[in-house]
Structure 1
Amino acid sequence: MNNLPAGNGEEAQIARDIEAVQRIDAVPAILRLICRNTGMGFAAVARVTGQSWTACAVQDDVAFGLAAGGQLDLRTTLCFESRAARATIVIDNFSDDPVYRGHHTARIYNLGSYISVPIILPDGSYFGNLCAIDPKPAEVSNPRTLSMFEGFADLIALQLASEGRHQAVRTALFNERETASLREQFIAVLGHDLRNPLSAVSATAELLALRKHEPDLVKIGLRLKATTLRMARLIDDVMDFARGRLGSGIGVSIDEVDDLDTALRMVVAELREAHPDRLLADDIAIGARVRCDRTRVQQLLSNLVGNAVTHGAAAFPVRVLARIEGAELVLSVVNGGEEIAPEVLARVFEPYWRPATSKPGGGLGLGLYICKQIVSAHGGTLEVQSSAQDGTRFVARLPMAV
């Protein structure tokens, strides 16, 4: 009896298997019951592989000297033969047994009686054995005792399978939390550290755009300005996402806004300048005071239009509509193109998700998620519909009184 070395991979797996058996509350009671009902002095749940025999749980009333984690030379045990045959081995008296009389296992461990039942997991894999031994002969081959051992072996196998599933879920949950935490820290730091160099690039773009006597530099400046505007919006998206995940959602500052028409037209004008090759048609007629976060509603419209420009067909205009309908502010953005499949529509508001057909460089997959969060922070709703005839339409409804 010793602690035999195993390969690093197997050694780690056996350690996990021992822990799994020891997390099954019923195992100690099962081993005590086996010893009491059979009169045998030692019972164990053993992990048996092609290379090793390891005790996972033990009831030792005869000072056999093997504790949980202890190992035996596999080939000195009858579990080696039980595993090979995937069959129960039961011996009332080694001295009288026609097959196992004089067997080396009895001689090495001074055994009089023995029983070992395979523990087969629900997926058919071999875990090990439920076994009992004693220096004296014992009547263990009767149907009642065999049925008890087989029932307990099946119960342990089912519990191990259940424990394996639970452990897999716990591991996946832990890994997901770790990944989410690192990702959110990364985007928060990234967004903060990008602002300063981006401000310098934006200032350079403004200076180039003022060189009216050098048209080529003006074009470069305008192009660079549009690029920095897009980058700034991406940074805003990741920062909003980080704040929303680390806090309680995207924050809004609700106030009385008298010029929402003008604010939304400014958004459309900026996007026209950034996408001169696309037709943006706006019909913005609010004409009333609205309680909302002016900047966030601008961001909402900017993200919706940007999404329409990116994913809509260039042959169709992007149409923007803003109205007061009853007690709600209604913003809708429509683009033409192919119908979006229902399974894709169901996921468009998920963070980091982009359809498989998305073009490279189309963004981080946060824009529509943030739109949804802005609308929710206003107590409103955001819905999407798509058809080949009418195009894809996003409709945000924000209550006038928040």
Structure 2
Amino acid sequence: MTNPDFAPDIEAIRSIDSVPVILSMVKHLTGMRFAAVARVTESNWVACAVDDSIDFGLKPGGELVLESTICHEIRQHQQPVIFGHASTHPVFSLHHTPKTYGLESYISIPIVKANGEFFGTLCAIDSVPANIDEPAITKTLTLFAQLIAMNLDTHRHLEATQIELNNANELGRLREQFIAVLGHDLRTPLSAVRMSADLLESKTEDKRSLNLIAAIRNSSVRMGVLIENILDFARGRLGGGIPVQRKLVDDLQQTLQLTLAEVKASHPQAIFIDELDVPAGVYCDELRISQLLSNLLGNAVTHGSNSTPIILKACAENDEIVISLTNQGTPISAQLMPLLFEPFSRAEAGQRCEGLGLGLYIASQIAMAHNGTLSVTSSAESGTCFVASFPARFKWV
């Protein structure tokens, strides 16, 4: 019965297609009738592959008592052992291994992996003498042992790659579950909260109650934005980019105006100045561009100064749509600037922030999905200015 501890080693050798050919070649080159690949450890000698023409009795998985073998010594010094006529040899005529197994000829080459780990030996034996003094024989068998070691390393790398692939597949499965939770299990109850707030508002005129209902509605809207941001992050970071559905849009300017109006309504304390001159026939995903602008506006309101206006401009320049947003306030630090379009960047840079820090990352991903860019400059004199630009139409139109 095969020791289960060595089943992976036997399987690794079995998976090397060239091993049977190598063992056959070893027998042909040496004239000996038994060849094997053995796994040799501190306590075990286990046959992993065998080519036996003398009925020695070993099969893959079969074991010899380690101390009865010469491989036990080879494991320690990791040098080949070769003799062609044991009974006349000055050393091996007295050695217990030839006497124990009735051997006259013997050759064993260590198999050592690239990391220096001793695996075992490539060996051949026979009960009759053999002419194996030719240096070319030792050199050829050494090359065979190295080839086996290289294949074992490749097998190990393939196993590690398979584990990584399985982990990646599991991550993909968890990602899909994660997106499903966000898309259904969170948004559904949130919609119920919003509908309940609308229903309560229609049934009361008490000012204090109306204020509480407004707070509930505003919180639910904010929660909805956070959920959508996390959902887009999951798609973009884990799934290969935020998806966009571009088409020719004739009223992108109106979409931008509606987006600005929504932000104005939810942030009455902020001051806005807008200059919008966007032509018809822009090739884009207008909902995603609206999301980009909403994220930039939200960032400007959060980090800008309430006493100075936020300036929004949008126009066509050199076959591109350019959207710029400028606000005053504390300039972006040099520490934060390289991280600005990475998720959770403000928290990583030790900045106080509201939300998860995904807004600018998602905005940049939307710009990228439109074959465009999102850039920023920031100084005390000129304020902080984000500029998003993307091709207005197909490049071949």
Band of TM-score, shorter chain: 0.7 to 0.9
Conserved 8 A contact 1:209-1:219: no
Gaps of 5+ in 2: none
* Aligned residue in 1 for 2:374: 383
1:338 counterpart (329, 333, 337): 333
* Aligned residue in 2 for 1:66: 58
Conserved 8 A contact 2:27-2:35: yes
* Aligned residue in 2 for 1:236: 228
Residues of 2 paired with 1:196 and 1:226: CA distance?
Answer: 17
Residues of 2 paired with 1:115 and 1:342: CA distance?
Answer: 67
1:368 counterpart (361, 376, 384): 361
Residues of 1 paired with 2:359 and 2:53: CA distance?
Answer: 64
1:83 counterpart (75, 83, 88): 75
Return closer, same or farther for 1:30/1:286 CA change in 2, 3 Å cut-off.
same
Q: What SS class does the counterpart of residue 147 from structure 1 fall into?
A: helix
The residue correspondences of 1:240-251 to structure 2 (distance < 5 A) are: 250-251=243-244
Is it true that 1:33 corresponds to 2:35 in the alignment? Answer: no
Conserved 8 A contact 1:339-1:387: no
Residues of 1 paired with 2:21 and 2:156: CA distance?
Answer: 21
The one-letter code sitting in structure 2 at the alignment partner of 1:186 is F
Is it true that 1:144 corresponds to 2:132 in the alignment? Answer: no
Residues of 2 paired with 1:365 and 1:96: CA distance?
Answer: 81
Return closer, same or farther for 1:325/1:66 CA change in 2, 3 Å cut-off.
same
Gaps of 5+ in 1: none
Residues of 2 paired with 1:69 and 1:24: CA distance?
Answer: 16
Residues of 2 paired with 1:366 and 1:97: CA distance?
Answer: 81
Residues of 1 paired with 2:359 and 2:95: CA distance?
Answer: 70
* Aligned residue in 2 for 1:105: 97
Q: Deviations over 1:80-137 (max 9, x none)?
A: 1110222222232332333333534334433222221111112211121111111222
TM-score normalised by length of structure 2: 0.80
The residue correspondences of 1:3-402 to structure 2 (distance < 5 A) are: 3=2, 5=3, 11=5, 14-206=6-198, 213-215=206-208, 217-237=209-229, 250-252=243-245, 254=247, 256-258=249-251, 260-272=252-264, 274=266, 279=270, 281-286=272-277, 288-291=279-282, 292-306=284-298, 319-333=311-325, 336-339=331-334, 344=339, 348=342, 353-355=343-345, 356-357=348-349, 362-363=355-356, 365=358, 368-369=361-362, 372-373=365-366, 376=369, 379-386=370-377, 391=384, 393-400=386-393
Residues of 2 paired with 1:95 and 1:361: CA distance?
Answer: 86
Return closer, same or farther for 1:374/1:174 CA change in 2, 3 Å cut-off.
farther
Conserved 8 A contact 2:374-2:387: yes
Deviation at 1:197, TM superposition (A): 0.8
Conserved 8 A contact 1:252-1:374: no
> For structure 1, which segment, 143-152 or 27-36, has the greater mean C-alpha deviation from structure 2 after superposition?
143-152
Residues of 2 paired with 1:219 and 1:116: CA distance?
Answer: 88
Q: What SS class does the counterpart of residue 223 from structure 1 fall into?
A: helix
Deviation at 1:242, TM superposition (A): 7.0
Q: What SS class does the counterpart of residue 151 from structure 2 fall into?
A: helix
Residues of 1 paired with 2:277 and 2:115: CA distance?
Answer: 64
Deviation at 1:196, TM superposition (A): 2.0
Provide the aligned length of Structure 1 versus Structure 2: 383
Residues of 2 paired with 1:188 and 1:141: CA distance?
Answer: 71
Conserved 8 A contact 2:111-2:149: yes
Q: What SS class does the counterpart of residue 277 from structure 2 fall into?
A: coil
Residues of 2 paired with 1:133 and 1:361: CA distance?
Answer: 76
TM-score normalised by length of structure 1: 0.79
Q: Deviations over 1:178-207 (max 9, x none)?
A: 212321233124311222210121234445
RMSD between aligned residues: 3.7
The one-letter code sitting in structure 2 at the alignment partner of 1:383 is L
Residues of 2 paired with 1:317 and 1:102: CA distance?
Answer: 99
The one-letter code sitting in structure 2 at the alignment partner of 1:372 is Q
Conserved 8 A contact 1:340-1:392: no
Conserved 8 A contact 1:42-1:59: yes
Conserved 8 A contact 2:278-2:321: no
Deviation at 1:37, TM superposition (A): 0.7
Return closer, same or farther for 1:256/1:366 CA change in 2, 3 Å cut-off.
closer
Residues of 1 paired with 2:298 and 2:15: CA distance?
Answer: 54
Return closer, same or farther for 1:287/1:162 CA change in 2, 3 Å cut-off.
closer
